[in-house]
Structure 1
Amino acid sequence: MLGNGRLEAICFDGVKRLCHIRGKLRKKVWINGGDIILLGLRDYQDTKADVILKYTADEARNLKAYKELPDSTKINEGTYDDEIDENITFDGFDDDDDEDDIDDVSRY
């Protein structure tokens, strides 16, 4: 997202295009990194396009099943890293120590 209703999209033909989000979609449909969108290419400007539609995850899966999208397409995988790390450990925290801490607080 670039702001002012614009974004930069990497198309399946390998070209990076500056895209304009049309007014009908601007504040009603939120586009995130990694979303599959339909672009209207301009005849006179190859590096610019207009966003026509944002596909839902189900629609994108159907397009991939119908071979309209390349097999290498990743659906529901954005460019940002929001995965949860399940291997987080906190040092110095034991369940048995909680009871001792409560007793220590009540003495003061």
Structure 2
Amino acid sequence: MTSDFYCDEVLSRRTEVEKVMETDNVLAYHHTRPFYPVHIVAIPKKHIPSLLTLEEEDDALLLELMGVIKKVARDVTKEHGACKVITNMGDYQDSKHLHWHIVSGKALR
């Protein structure tokens, strides 16, 4: 069984998060265990395991997700001068749910 923190904890509301932005299909929130001074995670509310498993039917959702990421990245860059937008795949992806990190500052760990 693969781990999906986002469905099991965040979207089920078992773990409280500080929301940054939310649409009908996307949630962006402050990471619960940040690796950077600014560390925001953006996820689709629909379970999609990875960027590599997106289907053609997910195109509108991906566009909505990228719109949220763009807005959050713009806000972080405006406030902090720069940001990185990161996604992981394969063994680098701890939680098997498509997600993007919007981060700024030097890594804390």
Find the structure with the greater CA-based Rg: 1
Q: TM-score, normalised by structure 1?
A: 0.26
User: Between Structure 1 and Structure 2, which shows a larger proportion of helix residues?
Assistant: 2
